[in-house]
Chain A
Amino acid sequence: MSVNESTEVSGSAVLVEQQSLSPREYVGQYARRVRSGDIGSLPIIIGLIIIAIIFQSLNQNYLTPRNFVNLIVQMAGLATIAIGVVFVLLMGEIDLSIGYVSGVAGVIMTLMLLPPFSFPWFVAIPITLLLVALIGLVQSSIITSFGLPSFIVTLAGLLVWNGVVLILVGAGGTIIIQDRTVIAIANSFLPGIWGWVFAVVVVALFAFVSIMQVRNRRKVGLSATPMPIVFLQILIVALLVIGGVYVCDQDRGVPFVGVLLTFFLVTFTFVATSTRFGRYIYAVGGNAEAARRAGIAVNRIRIYGFMLSSFMAGCGGIILASRLRSVSTDAGGGALELSAISAAVIGGTSLFGGSGRVVSALLGALVVASVENGMGLLGLSAGIKFVVTGFVLVLAVLVDALARRSRRSSGIA
């Protein structure tokens, strides 16, 4: 039994020395992970740099503070919707209705701000979000009760809510939003000092959470990221945030939607990684049968997941309506659901469930919006935009597939 003995010796050594890991070992481990295909967000960051270089060389206005601020505002609605998509994809499901659900949200909110309702914004927005969450409840109840594929049910939803948008807006109409607060959502900017307050809060929060995590794990004797690496991570985040705020301040300042997106990112990352609900979402996507046997109410988790997706689509729809200062029969159209799903997938969330992160929604939306924005600056037609976005999607999925193959061959997934 020499095989057994040798594995036991080397193995027990690993389980015992959980706590010690030098920075050098940590970096070595990271390099090994990357080489074996566990590349995380690396390709997308490289992709963004390439996109920036290409468009900057074609048009000098691409990398300007003005365009940077525009980009944040342009990606906000899409990124918000894509966050909900991440949860649905994690469960191994799909939600095609989100585009027009976001349209319905924009339209309902706008109508409620007008007579005969004339609700104030703080009544209209919560009611709207409640209603769209109900849409998710209805659709997912149909999916789970009858065991129907989510693809079909939400495809039907796509048609239904497209119809509802047309009915509510009326033929060929556009409804202008007059409420100042609602318009301010996507059209206001933090004045100088508040931008810096925002930056400080974000960096401090990130530093606090990172350091506390390491300290808590050290205290109970678990392995933890080495402190120098943690400080390096904090430094990188600090530079990115401060750099971003500085660039925004060269133009109109930090857009309010940027703050909103950061809030969504932090909140839903917490939900996905640190709560039972998030854990169950991953479990349902990874092995629904195992989740069921573990006593998890799988169908209830699915319903919550779809409700979250509709809810975020609603939030995104309100942001989009606010940006346009109006809603029209086009609300939620233009293959918005496909753009949002593409964003989540480009960001690295698997279409097959169980793997992905909330931040992938933002990164993917940034890619989609960057390409669109760059081609807008070049004055290219919508047709070319679709073609290029399509290629970017295929490229992203290709990189992911190759990385996955490499991971499998090196035995880590």
Chain B
Amino acid sequence: MPEPILELKGVSKNFGAVRALYKVDFAATSGEVMALVGDNGAGKSTLIKGLAGIYPFNEGEIYFDGARVTIHGPRDATDLGIEIVYQDLALADNLDVVANMFLGREQIKTPMRLDESSMELAAIETLRSLAVTTLRSVRQPVAGLSGGQRQSVAVAKAVMWNSRVVILDEPTAALGVAQTRQVLDLVRRLADKGLAVVIISHNLHDIFEVADRITVLRLGQRVAEYETKKTTQQEVVHAITAGTLEYVPGMADDIS
């Protein structure tokens, strides 16, 4: 197995007395799609929010490219090259595709003027490299795009910045069949470009189609990691619902 680019070792996160994550190991490898699955409340969102720098983990270590790093805020995560595409996509409907892709990182010409041409060229370049070709124009407002197109724009926005790890939160949740197809193809292309992709989804069918590995969380703990080729949906479902827990909620001696 190749060296992972991003590795979490024994991370925990408590919200008061609630243990959202407990000594979770997790790894994402360049060129691979890692799926993160688990039932509601399994700790998937807590894990990616910790990676995004929304809040710090209480314990555990993060390694990036083999070096130990700390992530204190969203900026730290983006500086490392970790980009997250949230489920709601965080696109401004009234702005066009280019403006959304560069939001917060606009290029400037002369003292204060936006460099629209370079931004538009770079946006087209990125969309093309991802083979996102269904857009009529990069100057149309995002409001007029389909769900799949919006997802594509959000992903393109994430990979634009020399990012090395892209985390997708439920990218196909709200999409129809053809759109889901588009997005899954896009996810595969990201990995083929050499990025480490983490995809969170409830849809095992999608995951088996696109992921190389699957990490299963249950009640805040990692209960299994599979290679997609060597497992079955049945096995994963079993892990999600009844995977063996190291720590059982309510075991008082463990809280130290």
Which A residues lie at the B interface, using CB under 8 A? 1, 3-4, 7-8, 11-12, 14-15, 18, 216-217, 220-223, 274-276, 279, 282-283, 285-287, 289-291, 293-296, 354-355, 411-413
Contacts of B108 in A (CB 8 A): 276
Asked if B140 CB lies within 8 Å of chain A CBs, one says yes
What 7 additional pairs, Cβ within 8 angstroms, besides A283-B103, A290-B90? Answer: A14-B135, A274-B113, A283-B92, A287-B90, A290-B89, A290-B91, A413-B93
User: Given A4-B185, A287-B92, A296 and B134 touching (CB < 8 A)?
Assistant: no
| Whole-angstrom CA separation of A295 from B104 in the bound complex | 6
* Residue of A3, A7, A286 contacting most chain B CB atoms (<10 Å): A286
Would you call B120 an interface residue if the criterion is a C-beta within 8 Å of the partner chain's C-beta atoms?
yes
The 10 closest A-B pairs by CB, nearest first: A294-B104, A286-B92, A11-B133, A354-B94, A286-B94, A290-B90, A12-B133, A287-B92, A11-B134, A294-B103
Known A12-B133, A15-B128, A283-B103: A220·B121 in contact at CB below 8 Å: yes
Q: CB within 8 Å of A: which residues of B?
A: 74-75, 78, 86, 88-95, 99-100, 103-106, 108, 112-114, 116-118, 120-121, 124, 127-128, 131, 133-138, 140-141, 143-144, 178, 181-182, 185
B178 surroundings in chain A (CB, below 8 A): 3-4
Contact at B95–A413, with CB atoms within 8 Å?
A: no
A-B contact pairs, 24 of them (CB 8 A): A1-B181, A3-B181, A7-B134, A8-B133, A11-B135, A14-B135, A14-B136, A15-B127, A217-B117, A220-B117, A221-B121, A222-B117, A275-B113, A276-B114, A279-B95, A283-B95, A287-B93, A289-B90, A293-B74, A294-B103, A295-B74, A295-B105, A354-B92, A413-B144
How far apart are the CA atoms of A411 and B117 in the complex, in Å?
26
Q: Is the CB of A411 within 8 A of B112?
A: no
Q: How far is the CA of A289 from the CA of B104 in the complex (A)?
A: 12
- Our pick among B86, B88, B143 for the contact of A413 (Cβ within 8 Å) is B143
Query: With A216-B117, A295-B104 given, is the CB distance from A275 to B112 under 8 Å?
Result: yes
CB-CB under 8 A from A294, the residues of chain B are: 90, 103-105
B104 partner residues in chain A, CB cutoff 8 A: 291, 294-296
**A295 and B121: CB pair below 8 A?**
no
A286 to B185, CA, bound (A): 29
Residues of A within 8 A of B92 (CB): 282-283, 286-287, 290-291, 354
Report whether B114 and A279 are in contact in the complex, using a CB–CB cutoff of 8 Å: yes
In the complex, chain A residues whose CB is within 8 Å of the CB of B127: 15
| B-chain residues with CB within 8 Å of residue A7 when the two chains form the complex | 133-134, 182
- Contact B103–A290 (Cβ < 8 Å): yes
A4 to chain B: which residues have CB within 8 Å? 178, 181-182, 185
Chain A residues whose CB sits within 8 angstroms of the CB of B95 once the complex forms:
279, 282-283, 286
A15 to B114, CA, bound (A): 22
CB contacts (< 8 Å) of A222 on chain B: these are 117, 120-121
Q: Which has the most chain B C-beta neighbours within 10 Å: A8, A274, A275, A294?
A: A294
